[in-house]
Structure 1
Amino acid sequence: MSKLQAYTKSMLCMGTIISIKVIASPNSEKNVHNDLEKVSTIFRQVESIASRFSPDSEVMSLLEKNGKPARVSPFLFEMTRFALQIAEATDGVYDPTIGNQMEKSGFNRHYLTNRIQQTALSTSPTTYKDVILYPELGAIQLQKPLILDFGSIAKGFAVDVAVKALSFYEGVMIDAGGDVFVRGRNERRELWKVGIKHPIEKDRPLAVLNVTDVAICTSGSYERKSAHDTSFHHIQFPKGSSPNELISCTVVAPFGMMADSLSTASFLLGYKKAKKLLQELQVEGLFITPSLHIYKTDRMEAYVDEYKL
């Protein structure tokens, strides 16, 4: 059996460190490095489309065309379409139109330039129903001035596109700041070990999963707090408060955008409603309360290799 080698690349993009590992034969080095550069371009492209921190991004340019259909890139259309589906499935508890609210609560500083993005919008309420899609045109219409927030969509989407671009290799692992996708096997031809971060003791995992061909995403209230009010974190209800029933929520799903959005949606819904939704969608989840009590969907245990409580 031929030897396999791990090729790695890390980059700063989309507000986080993105780590990519490709498993291939030793004589594939040149091809792998070329493909890793292509994947880096994918992440930068998605960021340029979906970032509300950059006034010249494609999503922010929708404000200039408020009230009429605007043709957009396939990437932006797909992210918006999926975000609206999750909003509909959660009866609006998850809502991608909270960008203006996120700005006002202090989540508006660009991670590279330190520039504060402050958009002069009114505080009138908006909901996902204020966004209309025109699939036949590939167009989006904002019914009101609003900012779409893809903080729980864009990284997962970029991971999906990147994994597809690397799908012909023996194995792939991408970690985009907690948005993980694993495919195939690692360099030892074993399933991938993926840790779930301990929400309090940051230097160790709370659990380790043994998985392949799935996306794993964890959302937690411990990561980012508002500079204006520390009782607010970056996961917020549409009306402006932050949930506190859970401290961490991990979702295992077939693709990254689904795991990314549903981990945030589950955090907002709380354990009971989230479990019901995830089981209807046939994906798995692990929920952790502030007292470190663990709840799970019925089949989540099949992915868990060990707990490290």
Structure 2
Amino acid sequence: MTEFRVRECMGTVISVEIASGGSAALLDEVFAWFDEVDARFSTFKADSEVCRFDRGELGLPDASAELRTVLDRCADLWRETDGYFDGYASGRLDPSGFVKGWSVQVASDRLLAAGAVDHCVNAGGDVRVRGQSPAGRPWRVGIRHPWNASATCHVVSGSDLAIATSGVYERGHHVVDPHTGRPATGLRSVTVVGADLGTADAYATAALAMGTAGVRWLGGIVGYACVVVTDEGRKLSSSALSSVA
């Protein structure tokens, strides 16, 4: 029997659908995890761990294992992206460009370990699917059209995919190019597809920060594919990601 739940958390809408092997108790555990992530990593809550660390009130030796994991991975991603993924791009610590995807990936890993092999976790467009949909077929995930919220510009299908999208269609050109300190322009939407959602999330953010140069950079990443829509409305996609009808 399919288990499904949706609610607001972490500043977005999160839905979890378990096609087999699920239970209400398992959904409770998943959303308890998202509540924990929100309490620990929110940049809008003054008492969150990430805010206390940023203000110098919490030292690294006293930080949680989760915060240390996120800081270490963000440092690696800064190097992997030539500094375009930067948790300090806004002038203060904000690892949100990694944390949302990472938290969904952890939730999916926990569902898999608990025996829920067929599931879809979606946090505001950062999606992790495994196994099969309730219809017994690979999951189909639509990528939002950057000018029409009720339409899709691309559809991908699979049984083990991490899909992260970073775009400017809701908050404008809000992603800062860390090298110039100015909002990046040139790309309207960047979707990255691969095996790890935290990494895909950070790569999408980095490519958006690069502007049009991000298209070529994404093309050189092994193991990840992309769908990009430019400010002029041109759609570019990796050959491995032909849109599913």
TM-score, normalised with respect to structure 1: 0.73
Match of 1:237 among 170, 177, 186: 177
Question: Hey, which of these two has a bigger chunk of strand by percent?
Answer: 2
2:226 aligned partner: 285
Alignment of 1:115-154 (within 5 A): 147-154=92-99
Amino acid at match of 2:48: S
Unpaired segments of 5 or more residues in structure 1?
101-146, 226-232
2:73 aligned partner: 82
TM-score, normalised with respect to structure 2: 0.91
Amino acid at match of 1:53: F
Match of 1:10 among 6, 12, 16: 6
Cα distance in 1 for residues equivalent to 2:61 and 2:50: 11
The size of the alignment, in residue pairs, is 242
Query: Which stretch shows the higher mean deviation, 189-198 or 273-282?
Result: 273-282
Cα distance in 2 for residues equivalent to 1:12 and 1:66: 29
Structural RMSD (CA): 2.0
Q: CA deviation at 1:62?
A: 1.2
Cα distance in 2 for residues equivalent to 1:243 and 1:200: 18
**Contact 1:215/1:253 (8 A) holds in 2:** yes
Q: CA deviation at 1:287?
A: 0.8
Amino acid at match of 1:180: V
Partner SS, residue 70 of structure 2: helix
Unpaired segments of 5 or more residues in structure 2?
none
Query: Which stretch shows the higher mean deviation, 266-275 or 41-50?
Result: 266-275
Cα distance in 2 for residues equivalent to 1:6 and 1:271: 42
Aligned-residue identity in percent? 29
**Contact 2:206/2:214 (8 A) holds in 1:** no
Q: Closer, same or farther in 2 for the Cα pair 1:268/1:170, shift >3 Å?
A: same
Q: CA deviation at 1:192?
A: 0.5
**Contact 1:245/1:290 (8 A) holds in 2:** yes
Considering only CA atoms, is the larger Rg found in Structure 1 or Structure 2?
1
Amino acid at match of 2:141: V
Cα distance in 1 for residues equivalent to 2:214 and 2:146: 22
Q: Is 2:3 the partner of 1:63?
A: no
**Contact 1:271/1:287 (8 A) holds in 2:** no
Amino acid at match of 2:6: S
Q: Is 2:244 the partner of 1:305?
A: yes
Alignment of 1:259-270 (within 5 A): 259-270=200-211
**Contact 1:9/1:36 (8 A) holds in 2:** yes
Partner SS, residue 203 of structure 1: strand
Cα distance in 1 for residues equivalent to 2:43 and 2:95: 8
- Deviation by residue 1:163-219 (Cα, 9 ceiling, x = unmatched): 112111241101100110000001111011100100011111111111221110111
Cα distance in 1 for residues equivalent to 2:107 and 2:229: 30
Alignment of 1:1-309 (within 5 A): 5-24=1-20, 32-65=23-56, 69-100=60-91, 147-167=92-112, 168-225=115-172, 233-238=173-178, 239-277=180-218, 279-301=220-242, 304-306=243-245
